[in-house]
């Protein structure tokens, strides 16, 4: 098992390197100049040149890239041009809300998607099935920002249950205050992703429910709930975990949009702001971080298979 | 008596319609935190550097200048006590106020002013362009007196010293950071800098050692009282969330609200709509160095084709949010408002534009207009203007790019004929009218303009200055280096509980309190 994990980690290295190269080239090719963004469009040319020199942006691209790679190998992702602090520090400062939001969104997606999928499968073709699948269709069709803004209007402005925007770190207001800020954002991301889980769960459950051992269980007099919960669901779990892994990645993407709408100072917001500011080192650092997180989570999902399905063995 | 009363009433009504929208001075309530939702964050708070309006807006609570603007946008003393000008108009002797302290406890004196102004003329674009070539010396006569000696008389100096880009920093900080961005924010203002948590907020707190002036508040001038204990500037990029934040009571002020929200929000009891005027004006900047628009006849043809009523309506919607005005200065700045030479403005003359194109021998080469969606009003104005220019016979190539790309591309004379941008509020010409100068993209080279600007800067008599400005404005509408579209007003929201709000450009939050 540990050899498998090690092999998977090593095989992730080329992926991460490729991501780094693509991001570096894409960022450099994009029009726009971080110095102009920082100094404003009316800055004098000599001031612009001086700052460009100070930041090392006057060097050829390949020199900048090699210098960045050299530093990255030692764990130093450089300094943010705009925030004037190490990229790793900037990322570390934003981790808390993004981690909570991502896991919260995945929890919401599972809490809605799995029961909806199971109920739809059990009541296949019925009213419940059609209602849930309509909901799932609307889930995949609704953009996260639209849902987010509607949640703000209803639960933030009209009912005033949750703050319309912002985030209170755990260290300042405790876990409950932090979670209260994240309820609407997590729902906005989670609801959209729950549609995917619901459809996958439904499909897998319908297949399992037609298996002989389910029929045998029913024939033995096991209750309908017992059949689904004890016999069928265990076999559906592999498919659910696979799709949850995918949902995790999508939730990270959703966080980028939703953190901006809800004004949450997380990794997604950091990425958006760094792109708008053309903060090259920060963009590279954040994308690299997201790529690594994605690879690690996929690995975690693969490892989980072993515990869920006894048939899976990694040599 | 009755006539006088009616006259006073009419005057008051007139002022409320066209005058600067300043609140009356009242006694307020102390305490609480003012939460201001902003569109984003500035790169820094060193307001001498071109960090934009938001940096100046936040910074003006922390830093103060020798002078500031009153309700009529005229410069009056702030950290200065008074000043005198020599008979030849070349030497300004500025007396400083006593008893003023910086937030770090150090005393404010002439050494701080000299260090700050010497840095200012080196790093600030307008001071560097307008003042530095004309500056003989800045020196401390004694700890309470500063002398600025010029090579030629220039009344603009006091206006420039009143602008947000000329703050006074402690001399120790100026020495420490030199011309690099200052990152320790210590001033003499009614609020002191507390902390900046990136993407969360910038926090200011009342400065208990603040030495306020005694005069009644007028514009930014006079007595400043910090009623709120703290002010938090919270970056909230999404405008809907800024608005929802004020509606729900989470924020007290939302800046930069989209004009198209005015219709739905003006009668919303949960918020108070603030119209900020003067604010700015969109314009088409012509590339005069190269290409089609190096020919003034084609620039005039483009101008003739434009219907400014349509363009402003497209950009801003509700007429409460804009004014169709050909004067470079809005009516609210009465000292510089003039209709001189504005006849070519808003001609709506497609046939005349066609005739001018034929006379210039226009051969159908693409008219490249660069615009961006960054500012929605600029994009909408560009779309309609392109249509109007097409109707006149121009072969328009409208290029919609990202703002950063527009800023980069406008530096390259071979890449466009027009770029679409806007000018922020300026208290007096030629301050913050960079398009008047040859170094700015568009590159207006004109001997008559240079001669007029030189005379303008040296004119000590306000009446002569006004006359020269009228000539400069007429030259602008004749030579068409740019085309002003009209004046637009800023739109912001405040909580109905907030009192004393000034509906003005970079509205200050001293002298405001929460009920």
Task: Please state the length of chain B.
Answer: 515
Chain A residues whose beta carbon lies within 8 Å of the beta carbon of residue B249: 160
Burial tier of A149 (Cβ tally within 10 Å: 0-12, 13-18, 19+): buried
Output helix, strand, coil percentages for chain A, rounded to the nearest 5. Answer: 80, 0, 20
Q: Does the structure show a pLDDT above 70 at B8?
A: no
Q: Is A32 in Cβ contact with B125 (below 8 Å)?
A: no
* Six-digit token string for A39: 């100094």
**Contact between B150 and B457 (Cβ < 8 Å):** no
- The shortest CB-CB distance from B248 to any of A37, A160, A262 is to A160
- The shortest CB-CB distance from A270 to any of B52, B123, B199 is to B199
Q: Tell me the per-residue pLDDT of B282-335, one tens digit each, with 9 for 90 and over.
A: 999 999 999 999 999 999 999 999 999 999 999 998 999 999 999 999 999 999
- The shortest CB-CB distance from B199 to any of A36, A41, A269 is to A269
Q: Tell me the per-residue pLDDT of B251-265, one tens digit each, with 9 for 90 and over.
A: 999 999 988 899 889
Give the nearest chain B residue to A83 (CA atoms): B198
In this prediction, residue B367 carries a pLDDT of: 97
**Contact between B481 and B438 (Cβ < 8 Å):** no
Query: A168: helix, coil or strand?
Result: coil
Q: What is the 3-state secondary structure (H, E, C) of B89-143?
A: CCEEEEEECCCCECCCCCECCHHHHHHHHHHHHHHCHHHHHHHHHHEEEEEEEEC
Chain B residues whose beta carbon lies within 8 Å of the beta carbon of residue A163: 248, 250
Q: Does the structure show a pLDDT above 90 at B407?
A: no
CA distance to partner chain A, nearest, from residue B127 (Å): 11
The alpha carbon of B425 is separated from its chain's Cα centroid by a whole number of angstroms, namely 3
Interacting residues of A94 by C-beta distance below 8 A, sequence separation 6+: A265, A266, A267, A269, A270, B199
In this prediction, residue B14 carries a pLDDT of: 37
The count of other CB atoms within 10 Å of the CB of residue B258 is 16
Q: Does the structure show a pLDDT above 90 at A299?
A: no
Largest CA distance in chain A: 86
CA distance A186 to A168: 15
The stretch B54-73 carries a mean pLDDT of 96
The stretch B50-64 carries a mean pLDDT of 93
In this prediction, residue B303 carries a pLDDT of: 98
The stretch B193-212 carries a mean pLDDT of 95
Q: Reading across the β-sheet that carries B145-150, which strands appear in turn?
A: B80-85, B91-96, B145-150, B135-142
CA distance A276 to A301: 34
Q: Does the structure show a pLDDT above 80 at B412?
A: yes
CA distance to partner chain B, nearest, from residue A170 (Å): 14
Identify residues of B whose CB sits under 8 angstroms from chain A CBs. Answer: 40, 43, 49-52, 123, 125, 128, 183, 197-200, 234-238, 240-241, 244-245, 247-250, 401-402, 404-405, 407-410, 434, 439-440
User: What DSSP state is assigned to residue B152?
Assistant: S
Strand partners, B494: B253, B272
CA distance to partner chain B, nearest, from residue A265 (Å): 5
Identify the band that residue A314 occupies on the pLDDT scale cut at 50, 70 and 90.
low
Task: Please state the length of chain A.
Answer: 315
Chain A residues whose beta carbon lies within 8 Å of the beta carbon of residue B240: 149, 152, 261
Q: Does the structure show a pLDDT above 60 at B409?
A: yes
Q: Is A152 in Cβ contact with B244 (below 8 Å)?
A: yes
**Contact between A116 and A135 (Cβ < 8 Å):** yes
Chain B residues whose beta carbon lies within 8 Å of the beta carbon of residue A269: 199
* Six-digit token string for A223: 């209750």
Largest CA distance in chain B: 70
Chain B residues whose beta carbon lies within 8 Å of the beta carbon of residue A268: none
Strand partners, B149: B91, B137
Query: Looking at the predicted complex, does its ipTM rise above 0.85?
Result: no
In this prediction, residue B143 carries a pLDDT of: 97
Averaged confidence pLDDT in chain A: 85
**Contact between B12 and B6 (Cβ < 8 Å):** no
Strand partners, B368: B397
**Contact between B391 and B357 (Cβ < 8 Å):** no
CA distance to partner chain B, nearest, from residue A215 (Å): 53
- The shortest CB-CB distance from A265 to any of B40, B200, B404 is to B200
Interacting residues of B28 by C-beta distance below 8 A, sequence separation 6+: B225, B227, B499, B500, B511, B512, B513
pTM for the structure as a whole: 0.82
Chain B residues whose beta carbon lies within 8 Å of the beta carbon of residue A149: 238, 240-241
List the one residue out of A196, A185, A280 whose CA is nearest residue A240.
Answer: A196
CA distance B455 to B262: 43
Mutate to test the interface with B, among A165, A184, A268 (most CBs of B within 10 A): A165
Q: Is B125 in Cβ contact with A42 (below 8 Å)?
A: yes
| Angle ∠(B368,B370,B373) on CA atoms, nearest 5 | 145
Mutate to test the interface with A, among B50, B119, B132, B423 (most CBs of A within 10 A): B50
Exposure on the CB side of residue A277, measured as CA atoms within 13 A: 25
- The shortest CB-CB distance from A260 to any of B238, B407, B440 is to B238
Q: Is B234 in Cβ contact with A37 (below 8 Å)?
A: no
User: What DSSP state is assigned to residue A281?
Assistant: H
């Amino acid at each position: 098992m540990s050899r498998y994990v090690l092999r998977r980690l090593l095989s992730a290295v080329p992926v991460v390197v490729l991501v780094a190269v693509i991001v570096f080239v894409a960022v450099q090719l994009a029009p726009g100049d971080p110095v102009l963004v920082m100094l404003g469009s009316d800055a004098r040319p000599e001031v612009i040149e001086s700052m460009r020199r100070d930041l090392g942006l006057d060097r050829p691209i390949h020199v900048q890239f090699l210098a960045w790679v050299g530093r990255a190998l030692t764990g130093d992702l450089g300094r943010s041009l705009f925030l004037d602090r190490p990229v790793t520090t900037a990322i570390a400062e934003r981790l808390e809300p993004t981690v909570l939001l991502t896991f919260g969104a995945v929890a919401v997606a599972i809490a809605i998607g799995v029961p909806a999928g199971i109920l739809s499968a059990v009541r296949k073709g019925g009213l419940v099935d059609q209602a849930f699948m309509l909901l799932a269709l609307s889930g995949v069709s609704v953009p996260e920002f639209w849902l987010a803004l509607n949640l703000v209007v209803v639960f933030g402005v009209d009912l005033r249950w949750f703050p319309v925007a912002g985030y209170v770190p755990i260290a300042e207001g405790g876990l409950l205050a932090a979670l209260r800020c994240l309820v609407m954002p997590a729902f906005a991301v989670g609801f959209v992703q729950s549609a995917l889980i619901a459809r996958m769960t439904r499909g897998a459950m319908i297949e399992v429910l037609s298996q002989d051992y389910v029929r045998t269980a029913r024939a033995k007099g096991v209750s309908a709930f017992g059949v689904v919960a004890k016999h069928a669901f265990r076999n559906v779990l592999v498919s659910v975990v696979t799709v949850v892994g995918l949902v995790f990645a999508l939730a990270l993407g959703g966080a980028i949009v939703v953190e901006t709408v809800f004004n949450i100072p997380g990794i997604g917001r950091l990425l958006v702001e760094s792109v708008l500011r053309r903060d090259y080192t920060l963009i590279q650092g954040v994308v690299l971080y997201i790529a690594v997180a994605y690879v690690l989570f996929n690995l975690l999902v693969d490892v989980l298979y072993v515990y869920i399905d006894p048939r899976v063995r990694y040599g | 008596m009755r006539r006088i009363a009616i006259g006073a009433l009419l005057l008051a009504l007139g002022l409320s319609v066209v005058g600067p929208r300043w609140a009356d001075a009242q006694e307020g309530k102390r305490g609480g935190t003012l939460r201001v939702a902003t569109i984003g964050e500035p790169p820094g708070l060193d307001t001498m550097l071109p960090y934009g309006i938001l940096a100046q807006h936040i910074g003006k609570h922390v830093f103060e200048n020798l002078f500031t603007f009153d309700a009529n946008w005229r410069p009056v003393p702030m950290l200065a006590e008074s000043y005198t000008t020599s008979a030849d108009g070349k030497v300004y002797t500025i007396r400083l106020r006593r008893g003023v302290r910086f937030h770090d406890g150090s005393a404010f004196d002439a050494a701080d002013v000299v260090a700050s102004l010497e840095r200012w003329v080196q790093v600030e674009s307008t001071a560097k362009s307008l003042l530095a070539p004309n500056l003989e010396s800045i020196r401390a006569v004694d700890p309470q007196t500063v002398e600025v000696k010029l090579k030629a008389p220039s009344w603009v100096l006091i206006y420039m010293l009143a602008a947000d880009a000329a703050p006074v920093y402690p001399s120790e900080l100026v020495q420490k950071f030199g011309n690099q961005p200052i990152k320790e924010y210590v001033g003499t203002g009614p609020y002191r800098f507390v902390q900046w948590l990136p993407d969360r907020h910038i926090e200011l707190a009342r400065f208990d050692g603040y030495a306020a002036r005694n005069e009644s508040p007028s514009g930014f001038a006079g007595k400043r009282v910090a009623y709120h204990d703290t002010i938090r500037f919270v970056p909230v990029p999404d405008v809907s969330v800024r608005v929802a934040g004020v509606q729900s009571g989470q924020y007290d002020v939302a800046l930069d609200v989209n004009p198209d929200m005015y219709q739905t929000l003006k009668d919303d009891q949960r918020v108070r709509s603030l119209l900020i005027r003067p604010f700015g004006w969109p314009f088409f900047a012509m590339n005069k160095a190269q290409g089609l628009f190096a020919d003034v006849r084609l620039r005039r043809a483009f101008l003739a084709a434009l219907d400014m009523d349509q363009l402003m309506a497209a950009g801003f919607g509700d007429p409460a949010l804009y004014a169709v005005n050909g004067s470079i200065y809005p009516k609210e700045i009465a000292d510089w408002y003039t209709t001189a030479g504005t006849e070519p403005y808003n001609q709506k003359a497609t046939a005349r534009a066609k005739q001018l194109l034929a006379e210039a021998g226009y051969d159908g080469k693409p008219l490249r207009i660069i615009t961006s969606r960054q500012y929605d009003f600029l994009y909408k104005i560009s779309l309609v203007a392109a249509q109007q220019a097409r109707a006149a016979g121009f072969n328009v190539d409208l290029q919609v790019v990202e703002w950063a790309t527009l800023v980069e591309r406008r530096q390259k004379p071979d890449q466009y004929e027009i770029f679409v941008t806007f000018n922020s509020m300026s208290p007096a010409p030629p301050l913050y009218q960079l398009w008047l100068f040859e170094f700015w993209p568009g590159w207006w080279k004109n001997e008559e303009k240079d001669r007029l600007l030189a005379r303008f800067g040296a004119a000590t008599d306000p009446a002569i200055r006004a006359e020269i400005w009228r000539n400069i404005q007429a030259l602008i509408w004749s030579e068409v280096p740019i085309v002003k579209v009209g004046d637009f007003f800023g739109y912001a929201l405040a909580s109905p509980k907030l009192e004393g709000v000034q509906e003005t450009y970079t509205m200050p939050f001293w002298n405001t309190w929460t009920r």
